[in-house]
Amino acid sequence: MHPVSLHRRKGKTVNQPETEKVAMLLDIINSSDNIVFFGGAGVSTESNIPDFRSANGLYSQRAKSHFSPEEMLSHTFFMNNTEDFFDYYKSNLIYKEARPNDAHLALAKLEKQGKLKAVITQNIDGLHQMAGSKEVLELHGSVHRNYCMMCGKFYTLDYVLESPGVPKCDQCGEIVKPDVVLYEEGLDADIMEKSVQHIENADVLIVAGTSLTVYPAAGLVVYYSGKRLVLINKSPTQYDQKARLVINDSIGETLKACI
């Protein structure tokens, strides 16, 4: 199967015009009531949240210390250098003023229309829920959920941000840990299983804003056996040749045009 692709260069389109590409995606969406969306960091960049691996991403910016971002966001670093972890985490992974963009809003509308069955996301920003989506499977957790490591008491993002240094439980005094998956930590088995079920049952799978290189999350695509895989990403992925439709353009503009 040869995917139909759109590439934008210096404001011009190569191959088929953008309007034709959007029309094809619109036809796919209109003809299905079992769509699953799988998104990565690129979904939130239009909300001014930087991604990780692009030229201007988080991982291209060296931390103030000699540790790499991957090291500072690891379970080992969290346990051994907790105060430094929270200093880096609060400064680089929290974007409290961010708001849903056109992609988040379009997906929420599709769910309300009964077409979209689930959003599976690698993002931890909670923007899908803010936009109104209900069935959101957060593979890497959420900055909006925080729990005491001892007694399990729940804390809000504001509590973590307003705590000087390391946030501590006001009930037992133990560290309050963000409910995000750090390096060296496994993904939630129940969320992974539910994600697999949604993808296996999907008629249409739309994958957007992810390079599909980070495992095990990227491996979820192999569970889709349908014929209508849609990829929306600024750069090529390893699954481009398996897709029915590949669009290398803005996720927000593309999805908004289909609503």
Is residue 2 flagged as an active site residue?
Answer: no
Whether the Cβ atoms of residue 242 and residue 220 lie closer than 8 Å to each other: no
- Token pair, residue 197, equals 């079920």
Catalytic residue among 104, 140, 144, 198: 140
**φ and ψ at residue 119, rounded to 5 degrees:** -110, 120
Q: List the catalytic residues.
A: 140
